[in-house]
C-alpha cells in the first residue's frame, strides 16, 4: 500500500486518524491488561542497554581488557539495531504477540550465556545474542500498544510506558552499581531469566494479533545481511579508530570506505524492492524522516551520557559503583518528570511535534555545562535533572508522530523505525564517545585511573571525559535543530 504524500504538513495525520475514527475509548481494564503484558518487555529492553554502565570497571577487573569493554554496550546495541526492522516486518506479517514471545526467548538465552561468560569477548558475543532478542522487545511492545489504543488516547497512556522506559534506562546503572557492590555482576543477567519467563506468560494471555503482511511479501534476506554488514563495519570503525589505529591510517580509511560502499549498495537495493527490509517508504514522509533523525541524535547523546557518566565518576573521581549509580538518580527523576509533563501537554494540545524543540535545547545547555564545570556531586546532580527534563520530551512524542503518520496497518514498521533510529543513535553515540575518551587518554592512564593511581593520570582521564561531554552537548543542539524541521502533526 502506498502512503499518501502529505503536501500540507497537517494532512500527514489525517489518513491514520480517519482509520481510527470508528474506535471508541479503550476501557481502562483493557489498557491494564495490555500494560501488565508489555511493561516487563519494555523494562527489560531499556534496562539492559544501560545496566552494565556502573558494572563495567568491575567486569574489566574480573575479565580484563578495559578498552574492549565499550563493546559490552555496543555489541548489544548493534544486534538490537540489526533486528529492530526485521521484528517490525515479522510482527506485521505473522502477528505482533508471537513475535514478542520469540524475542523474549532469544533474550533469555543470551542472558544465560552472559551469566556464564569466562572472558571479555565471550561476554561481548553473549551480549550480541541477547541483543538479537532485545531488538524485538521494544518494537513489538510499542506496536501492540498502537494496535489497541487509538491515536487521540495514546498521549495519556504513552506517558505510563514512557515512564517505564526512562526509569529502566537510567536506573539500570543504579541497579548495576548496587548489585556489583553487594553481589556479583553475573547476577545482573541471572535476574533476567525469571523476569523473561513472567513476561512471556503475560504476553501469551493477550489475544493473538492479526497479520498485516502484503501478498507475496519476502523476507529480503540479502537486505538483512547487507544491513548487518554495513552497521557492524561502521560501528567497528567508530569504536577502533583513534586509539587502536589512527583516523587517517590505511586500516581506518579502508574500513570506512568499505562501510560506505556497503551502505550505498544497501540503499540502492532497498529502493528497488517492492517490500524492502528497511521501511524506506516511511522515511519519504517528512514528519517521519525528521523525527527519526531527531531520535537518532537524541539517543546518541542520552545513551552516551548514561553509559559513560558512571564510568567517569569512578575513574575520574574514584567513587564506587553504588555511589556512581546513585548520582544518576537526578537524571532519572528529570526524565520521568519530563516524560510525564510532555504526555499531559500533548494530551491537551494534540501537538506531539513541539515539545522536543525546547526540551533538547535545555538538555544541550546542561551537557555543555557538564563539560565546562568541575564534576562535583552537586553539579552532576543538578545538571542531570535539567538534562533529564529535556530528554524526557522526546520518547513520548516520537512514537506518537511516527505511528500517527504511518497508520494502523504499518504499526510494526512504524515502531521499528523509532526503535531503529534509537538503536542506531545509541550504538553510534556509545561507540564514538568511547573512542573519543579512549583516544584522548592512553591505556596506561586508564589503567592507573581504574586502580586509583596517580593524580596526573586521573586528571588526564577527567579532561578526556569533559571534552567528550562538550561534544555530546553540541550533538544535542543539532538534535534540537532537527526537531524544529518536523512538520505540524495533530492527533
Specify the higher pLDDT residue, 475 or 95: 475
How do residues 99-120 score in pLDDT, each as one tens digit? Answer: 889 899 999 999 999 998 888 8
pLDDT at position 318, please? 64
What CA–CA distance (Å, rounded) separates 76 from 59? 16
How do residues 61-86 score in pLDDT, each as one tens digit? Answer: 788 766 667 778 778 877 887 787 77
Identify the CA nearest to 54 among candidates 446, 300, 433, 326. Answer: 326
Contact between 307 and 50 (Cβ < 8 Å): yes
> For the purposes of burial, counting CB atoms within 10 Å of the CB of 369, is it exposed (0-12), middle (13-18) or buried (19 or more)?
middle
pLDDT score of 294 more than 90: yes
pLDDT at position 268, please? 84
pLDDT at position 414, please? 73
pLDDT at position 358, please? 93
pLDDT score of 1 more than 50: no
Report the 10 Å Cβ neighbour count for 236. Answer: 17
pLDDT at position 4, please? 38
What CA–CA distance (Å, rounded) separates 414 from 401? 10
pLDDT score of 259 more than 60: yes
pLDDT score of 327 more than 70: yes
What percentage of the chain exceeds 90 in pLDDT?
13
How do residues 30-57 score in pLDDT, each as one tens digit? Answer: 767 777 787 888 888 778 766 776 777 7
Please count the residues of the chain. Answer: 491
pLDDT at position 451, please? 63
CATH number for 27-208+221-484 (one of 2.40.100.10, 1.20.120.420, 1.10.150.120, 1.20.1250.20): it is 1.20.1250.20
pLDDT score of 314 more than 60: yes
What CA–CA distance (Å, rounded) separates 460 from 227? 38
pLDDT score of 324 more than 50: yes
- Which of 4-8, 262-266, 274-278 is predicted most confidently? 262-266
Identify the CA nearest to 11 among candidates 243, 285, 331. Answer: 285
pLDDT score of 366 more than 50: yes
pLDDT at position 322, please? 66
Identify the CA nearest to 142 among candidates 484, 423, 479, 478. Answer: 423
H, E, C per residue of 90-114: HHHHHCHHHHHHHHHHHHHHHHHHH
**Least confident stretch, 41-50, 335-344, 451-460:** 451-460
For residues 243-266, average pLDDT: 85
pLDDT score of 296 more than 80: yes
pLDDT at position 395, please? 79
Per-chain mean pLDDT for the chain:
77
pLDDT score of 13 more than 60: no
What percentage of the chain exceeds 70 in pLDDT?
77
How do residues 186-233 score in pLDDT, each as one tens digit? Answer: 888 898 899 899 989 988 887 776 665 555 556 667 877 888 788 778
For residues 7-29, average pLDDT: 45
Q: How confident is the model at residue 303 (pLDDT cuts 50, 70, 90)?
A: confident
For residues 83-90, average pLDDT: 76
What CA–CA distance (Å, rounded) separates 212 from 6? 23
Q: How confident is the model at residue 273 (pLDDT cuts 50, 70, 90)?
A: confident
> For the purposes of burial, counting CB atoms within 10 Å of the CB of 183, is it exposed (0-12), middle (13-18) or buried (19 or more)?
exposed
Specify the higher pLDDT residue, 484 or 466: 484
**Least confident stretch, 319-323, 350-354, 415-419, 457-461:** 319-323
What CA–CA distance (Å, rounded) separates 56 from 357? 34
How do residues 16-26 score in pLDDT, each as one tens digit? Answer: 333 343 345 66
pLDDT score of 476 more than 90: yes
Q: How confident is the model at residue 15 (pLDDT cuts 50, 70, 90)?
A: very low
Rg for the chain, CA atoms, rounded: 21
pLDDT at position 287, please? 87
The DSSP secondary-structure symbol of 486 reads: S
Q: How confident is the model at residue 29 (pLDDT cuts 50, 70, 90)?
A: confident
Contact between 356 and 397 (Cβ < 8 Å): yes
Specify the higher pLDDT residue, 392 or 418: 392
Contact between 413 and 406 (Cβ < 8 Å): yes
Contact between 472 and 433 (Cβ < 8 Å): yes
How do residues 376-417 score in pLDDT, each as one tens digit? Answer: 778 888 898 899 899 988 877 887 888 788 776 666 667 677
Contact between 353 and 486 (Cβ < 8 Å): yes
pTM higher than 0.75 for the full model? no
Amino acid at each position: 500500500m502506498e502512503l499518501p504524500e502529505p503536501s500540507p504538513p497537517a494532512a500527514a495525520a489525517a489518513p491514520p486518524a480517519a482509520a481510527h475514527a470508528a474506535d471508541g475509548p479503550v476501557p481502562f481494564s483493557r489498557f491494564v491488561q495490555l500494560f501488565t503484558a508489555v511493561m516487563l518487555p519494555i523494562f527489560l529492553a531499556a534496562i539492559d542497554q544501560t545496566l552494565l554502565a556502573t558494572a563495567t570497571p568491575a567486569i574489566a577487573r574480573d575479565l580484563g581488557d578495559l578498552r574492549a569493554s565499550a563493546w559490552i554496550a555496543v555489541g548489544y546495541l548493534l544486534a538490537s539495531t540489526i533486528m529492530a526492522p526485521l521484528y517490525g516486518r515479522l510482527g506485521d506479517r505473522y502477528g505482533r504477540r508471537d513475535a514478542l514471545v520469540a524475542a523474549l526467548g532469544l533474550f533469555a538465552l543470551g542472558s544465560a550465556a552472559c551469566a556464564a561468560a569466562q572472558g571479555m569477548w565471550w561476554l561481548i558475543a553473549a551480549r550480541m545474542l541477547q541483543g538479537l532478542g532485545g531488538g524485538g522487545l521494544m518494537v513489538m511492545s510499542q506496536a501492540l500498544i498502537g494496535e489497541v489504543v487509538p491515536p487521540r488516547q495514546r498521549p495519556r497512556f504513552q506517558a505510563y510506558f514512557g515512564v517505564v522506559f526512562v526509569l529502566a534506562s537510567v536506573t539500570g546503572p543504579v541497579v548495576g552499581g548496587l548489585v556489583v557492590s553487594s553481589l556479583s555482576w553475573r547476577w545482573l543477567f541471572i535476574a533476567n531469566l525469571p523476569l523473561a519467563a513472567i513476561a512471556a506468560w503475560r504476553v501469551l494471555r493477550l489475544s493473538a494479533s492479526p497479520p498485516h503482511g502484503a501478498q507475496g511479501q519476502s523476507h529480503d534476506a540479502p537486505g538483512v545481511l547487507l544491513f548487518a554488514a554495513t552497521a557492524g563495519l561502521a560501528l567497528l570503525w567508530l569504536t577502533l579508530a583513534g586509539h587502536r589505529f589512527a583516523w587517517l591510517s590505511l586500516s581506518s580509511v579502508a574500513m570506512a570506505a568499505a562501510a560506505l560502499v556497503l551502505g550505498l549498495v544497501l540503499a540502492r537495493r532497498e529502493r528497488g524492492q517492492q517490500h524492502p527490509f528497511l521501511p524506506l517508504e516511511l522515511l519519504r514522509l517528512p514528519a517521519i524522516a525528521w523525527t527519526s533523525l531527531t531520535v537518532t541524535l537524541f539517543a546518541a547523546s542520552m545513551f552516551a551520557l548514561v553509559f559513560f557518566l558512571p564510568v567517569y565518576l569512578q575513574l575520574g573521581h574514584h567513587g564506587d559503583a553504588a555511589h556512581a549509580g546513585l548520582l544518576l538518580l537526578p537524571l532519572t527523576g528529570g526524565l520521568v518528570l519530563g516524560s510525564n509533563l510532555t504526555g499531559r501537554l500533548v494530551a491537551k494540545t494534540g501537538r506531539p511535534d513541539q515539545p522536543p524543540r525546547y526540551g533538547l535545547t535545555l538538555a544541550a545547555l546542561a551537557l555543555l555545562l557538564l563539560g565546562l564545570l568541575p564534576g562535583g556531586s552537586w553539579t552532576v546532580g543538578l545538571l542531570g535533572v535539567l538534562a533529564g527534563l529535556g530528554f524526557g520530551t522526546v520518547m513520548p512524542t516520537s512514537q506518537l508522530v511516527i505511528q500517527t503518520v504511518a497508520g494502523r496497518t504499518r504499526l510494526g514498521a512504524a515502531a521499528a523505525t523509532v526503535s531503529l533510529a534509537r538503536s542506531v543513535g545509541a550504538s553510534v553515540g556509545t561507540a564514538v564517545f568511547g573512542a573519543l575518551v579512549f583516544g584522548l587518554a592512553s591505556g596506561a592512564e586508564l589503567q592507573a585511573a581504574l586502580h586509583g593511581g596517580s593524580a596526573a593520570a586521573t586528571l588526564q582521564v577527567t579532561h578526556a571525559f569533559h571534552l567528550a561531554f562538550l561534544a555530546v552537548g553540541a550533538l544535542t543542539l543539532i538534535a534540537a535543530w532537527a526537531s524544529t524541521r518536523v512538520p505540524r502533526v495533530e492527533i
